[in-house]
Amino acid sequence: MIAIVFYLASYPASAQNYQISLITCDPGDELYSTFGHSAIRVLDTDSGRDLVFNYGTFDFNTPFFYVKFTRRTLDYQLAVATFEQFLYEYNFFKRSVREQVLDLNAEQTAAMMDFLRVNYEPENRKYRYDFFYDNCATRIRDLMETVLGDNLTWNEPESAPEKTFRNMIDEYVYPLPWSDLGIDLALGAVIDQQASEREKLFLPDYLADAFGRASIIGDGPSRPLIREENVIYDFPDRDDSIVFLLSPYFLFWMVAALVGIFTFIGFKRRRLYLGMDYALLGILGLLGILVVYLWFFTAHSQTKSNWNLFWAFPLHLIGVYGLVKGKTWVRNYLLGALILADLALVIWLFGIQSFHVSILPLLLALILRTNFLYYHVDKWKPSKASG
């Protein structure tokens, strides 16, 4: 570490021997690696020293690490490693790595090196991570805009398709249906807004595409930002096949079908079968507590305005208590739960917030049961219909 700091502080002012590149790493199979990664490579062609500046690291030894991670009070930091050390993980997990060498003049290279050196100072290297607005890719986007200023033009495509932030992350988590469900449950309506072309660069693949289109102007003839492209690792694409029987979509439709069948049988036999309501409402109530926690008790900006709360509602746990004890107020609760579930469908249909598609059978099951119980819970007492 001391050697790296000394090296950064003593690079030649002309920076003629430095080659700076954008490194883009393909997505991995784990959730933390689903969206790929971006980093900056600095190669000293004279000495052969080869370093990677990586904005996507954090300290596992941080006190209360998991608490800070879930509440978004954990700081990420700029780390420096040799290129060989950086590549070890990607070679091990068979993730492809691509390089785009920047066509910078000596002055721009020196400015880039100086920016990285200052950023790597202990008082500067940490930052408060934000998945959409301040991450490993946006840090590099901002670095380029700061160093090149008006000399950089992104050449944004005129006919690029409009995408929301949710649309963009869905492109990556589709092969991981349970992770996709978890993300859609945790993130609110704020990510259903359209992302500008600049905002799209929070994803490494989009950043690499933008670098490929960008130009440098104003210091001579206009030239592409990228001088050459190299493939460091080229592994086969990951397996994107989905085992349908293990997907939440299939399992939740099975749950909804069973709820429908038992409700029909219960209607015919004048029985409530409250056991499945205890399970359904209890699980949805616990999910509601998680939604409330992420919305109101963390610093995550993307978990605000999460209208999953209308069906995953914490007070469902109170409703379970009311059903178990046969409380007189339980019909008021059931009516309220029914109205909230209907509102969730309205919010979904009008595009206020996009819910995960596998939620539909749970919503329908919730609407069916709250409606059924509202009309029959007083007539068929739980004590007589628990079987």
Q: What is the reported pLDDT for 383?
A: 42
Count of domains forming the chain? 2
Helices marked H in 177-219 — which ranges?
A: 177-186, 204-213
The string of pLDDT tens digits covering residues 78-92 is 999 999 999 999 999
R_g of the chain, CA atoms, integer Å: 27
Structure tokens at 31: 């959730």
Residue from 62, 80, 82 nearest 71 by CA? 62
Q: Which domain holds residue 54?
A: 2-160+197-233
Q: Which residues contact 96 (CB under 8 A, 6 or more apart)?
A: 25, 26, 90, 231, 232, 233, 234, 235
Find out whether 156 and 197 touch, Cβ atoms under 8 Å. yes
The string of pLDDT tens digits covering residues 148-166 is 999 999 999 988 899 999 9
Find out whether 299 and 72 touch, Cβ atoms under 8 Å. yes
DSSP, res 237: P
Q: What is the reported pLDDT for 83?
A: 97
Residue 122 maps to a domain: yes
Residue that terminates a domain, selected from 233, 255, 280: 233
Query: How far is Cα 163 from Cα 248, in angstroms, rounded to an integer?
Result: 25
Q: What is the reported pLDDT for 155?
A: 96
Whether this prediction's pTM lies above 0.85 is answered by: yes
Residues 153 and 295 reside in one and the same domain: no
Mean pLDDT score of the chain, rounded to an integer?
90
The string of pLDDT tens digits covering residues 194-213 is 999 999 999 999 999 999 99
Find out whether 75 and 58 touch, Cβ atoms under 8 Å. yes
Structure tokens at 61: 């030894």
Residue 191 maps to a domain: no
Regarding predicted confidence, which is higher, 261 or 59? Answer: 261
CATH number for the domain including 67? 3.90.1720
Structure tokens at 82: 């040799």
**Helix (H) / strand (E) containing 148:** helix 136-148
Regarding predicted confidence, which is higher, 130 or 138? Answer: 138
Angle 248-269/275-296 helices, nearest 10 degrees? 140
Residue 133 maps to a domain: yes
Mean pLDDT to the nearest integer, 49-63:
85
Residue type at 73 in one-letter notation: T
SS3 52: strand
Give the pLDDT band of residue 29 (cuts 50, 70, 90): confident
Residues 314 and 213 reside in one and the same domain: no
Sign of CA dihedral 343, 347, 353, 359: positive
